[in-house]
């Protein structure tokens, strides 16, 4: 009987050992909480859906950004009738799991900050540290926003750093297209 229990348990143990561990998942912030951190002076957020057309997708690709999606959800931050900026939430793959993050860009096109909403990998959560995220503040669509160029890597978190950096660049470029298209008016 004891031998039978071991034989039945063995496949479950092997399967558990081979599966990527997502037991490290931590939800840090909601999109709403990130919006309040990045646009503390905002009195309301207005959600808008925006579909990029073929020409805009080509411009995005020409700027060195892989256009992952044509449809975007923009959260406009307002103080009264003044547009403060735009918040965009997105997800990128880390090594095995998704990293949820939000990017705030001012109405002037200047990046206000990046917040990590959820991190699900077993390593690399250092991307949530303020010192790493602070590197993005002040960047615009004209900045390289490239790992190893103007954004430093974190040893042991190379994929997470690289993918979040690419995602932030994509969002900054998308918001710049929205600014030029009068979508934010």
pLDDT digit string, tens, across residues 46-92:
999 999 999 999 999 998 898 888 999 999 999 999 999 999 999 99
pLDDT band at 4 (very low <50, low <70, confident <90, very high): low
What is the tens place of the pLDDT at every residue in 42-53? 999 999 999 999
Candidates 23, 171, 12, 176; CA nearest to 97 is 23
Confidence (pLDDT) at 123: 85
In the chain, domain spans: 22-180
Contact between residue 140 and residue 63 where contact means Cβ atoms under 8 Å apart = no
Contact (Cβ atoms closer than 8 angstroms) between residue 20 and residue 97 = yes
d(CA 77, CA 14): 49
- Residue 126: strand, helix, or coil: helix
- Per-residue pLDDT tens over the stretch 92-112: 998 889 999 999 999 999 999
* Percent of the chain's residues with pLDDT above 70: 87
Band the pLDDT of 148: cuts 50, 70, 90: very high
Its pTM stands at 0.85
Rg (CA), the chain: 20
C-beta contacts of 84-89 below 8 A and 24+ residues apart: 84/39, 84/41, 84/42, 85/38, 85/39, 85/112, 86/175, 86/178, 86/184, 87/31, 87/34, 87/35, 87/38, 87/39, 87/45, 88/171, 88/174, 88/175, 89/31, 89/34, 89/117
């Amino acid at each position: 009987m004891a031998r039978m229990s071991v034989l039945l348990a063995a496949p479950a143990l092997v399967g558990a050992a081979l599966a990527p561990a997502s037991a490290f998942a931590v939800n840090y912030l909601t999109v709403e909480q990130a919006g309040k951190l990045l646009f503390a002076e905002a009195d309301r957020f207005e959600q808008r859906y925006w579909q990029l057309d073929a020409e805009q997708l080509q411009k995005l690709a020409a700027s060195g950004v892989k256009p992952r999606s044509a449809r975007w959800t923009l959260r406009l931050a307002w103080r009264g009738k003044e547009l403060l900026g735009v918040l965009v939430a997105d997800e990128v793959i880390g090594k095995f799991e998704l990293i949820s993050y939000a990017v705030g860009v001012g109405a002037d096109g200047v990046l206000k900050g990046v917040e990590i909403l959820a991190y699900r990998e077993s390593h690399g959560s250092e991307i949530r540290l303020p010192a790493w995220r602070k590197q993005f503040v002040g960047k615009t669509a004209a900045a390289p926003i490239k790992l190893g160029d103007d954004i430093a890597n974190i040893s042991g978190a190379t994929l997470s750093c690289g993918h979040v950096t690419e995602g932030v660049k994509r969002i900054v470029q998308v918001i710049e297209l929205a600014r030029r298209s009068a979508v934010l008016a």
